[in-house]
Amino acid sequence: MKLFRSVHGLSLEKDGQLYQVEQHLLSRLFRSGRGEIGEILSGIELLEKQSDLRDQLPPVLDETEIWASGVTYLRSKSARMEESEKAGGDIFYDLVYEAQRPELFFKSMGSRAVGHGGHIRVREDSSWDVPEPELTLAINAGGEIFGFTVGNDVSSRSIEGENPLYLPQAKVYRGSCALGPSLLLGRDAISQRASIELKIFRNDQLVFEGETDLTQLKRRFEELVEFLYRELDFAHGAMLMTGTGVVPGSDFTLSSGDRVEITIEGVGTLTNHVA
């Protein structure tokens, strides 16, 4: 089952058919306690059928915090070390890849996230900017994973590479976080071998293409969630991006007008344009 959010309300795709569902379902899922997800999912009431989806919003509550994991794929470690080598920060990425404690950082509030079809941005004071395709976990207040969506952790590699302490500025700004198009519901709904594909188009021409899969993810989902919830409470649940394994090289940077398409097998395709 896939749950969509739009300006018109919530819709559920089940067995190839789209239905309207009660408007508090997303809130109930994110704010639920431990052990309550199964009952909520089994009790979803399908209302009238719908024919299409318009004006989509990110599938998250405005009050929900969106966090991200870093250096969880070997390719990501290599890219981060490359960009920060001149500043002497490359050793930190090598260390965190092997460390017991993962890198976790705040990315956005749900109210600031961009949905499917919306516009992402690059910072005006950055010279090297990339999309980062990431499987994103939907987690309830009780710390349980109840769904998955596609995430784009848009990042300034030039700012992060200049100094690792600039990470918040490289990661957190207007238009830097996109989620969608829907929530794939159920902890076991996704294949542990699901592919993740990134395509970037400029003037309708493909200028970058890359692919990885979840077998390349170094850390388990529950491991990342446990560290995130270890000393924090999330009354409105949380979204957690799990890191990227597809990183454009130093010869590529996003430009205004580019179209970014991220497809995760079984979850869907998130499409955004660069403003």
Distance CA 81, CA 73 (A): 13
With CA atoms as reference, report the closest residue to 66 among 30, 97, 13, 38. Answer: 30
Grade residue 87 by pLDDT with cuts at 50, 70 and 90.
low
Is 50 within the bounds of a domain? no
Query: Which pLDDT belongs to residue 275?
Result: 97
pTM listed for this prediction = 0.94
Which residue in the block uniquely carries the two structure tokens 């109840």? 146
Distance CA 68, CA 246 (A): 15
Mean pLDDT computed over 206-226:
96
Range of the domain at 183: 56-274
Query: Which pLDDT belongs to residue 91?
Result: 67
Q: Which two tokens stand for residue 164?
A: 């690792």
Helix ranges (H only) for 104-256 are 157-162, 167-171, 221-229
Considering the chain, what percentage of its residues have pLDDT values greater than 70? 93
Phi–psi pair at 97, nearest 5 degrees = -65, -35
Mean pLDDT computed over 207-215:
97
Distance CA 151, CA 115 (A): 10
Grade residue 3 by pLDDT with cuts at 50, 70 and 90.
very high
Is 8 within the bounds of a domain? no
Query: Which pLDDT belongs to residue 75?
Result: 55
Is 98 within the bounds of a domain? yes
Grade residue 88 by pLDDT with cuts at 50, 70 and 90.
low
**Based on the structure, what is the number of domains in the chain?**
1
- 133-167 b/e with 16+ CB inside 10 Å = b? bbbbbbbbbbbbbbbbbbbbbbbbbbbbbbebebb
Is 215 within the bounds of a domain? yes
Query: Which pLDDT belongs to residue 78?
Result: 58
What tens digit of pLDDT does each residue of 180-198 get? 999 999 999 999 999 999 9
Helix, strand, coil percentages for the chain (3-state, nearest 5) = 25, 35, 40
DSSP bridge partners of 232: none
Distance CA 248, CA 129 (A): 9
Are the beta carbons of 29 and 40 closer than 8 angstroms?
yes
Report CA-CA distances (Å) from 154 to 172, 210, 233, 260.
9, 16, 26, 11
Grade residue 103 by pLDDT with cuts at 50, 70 and 90.
very high
Is 209 within the bounds of a domain? yes
CATH number at residue 108: 3.90.850.10
Is 43 within the bounds of a domain? no
Query: Which pLDDT belongs to residue 158?
Result: 94
Q: What is the mean pLDDT of the chain?
A: 93
Phi–psi pair at 132, nearest 5 degrees = -130, 105
Query: Which pLDDT belongs to residue 226?
Result: 98
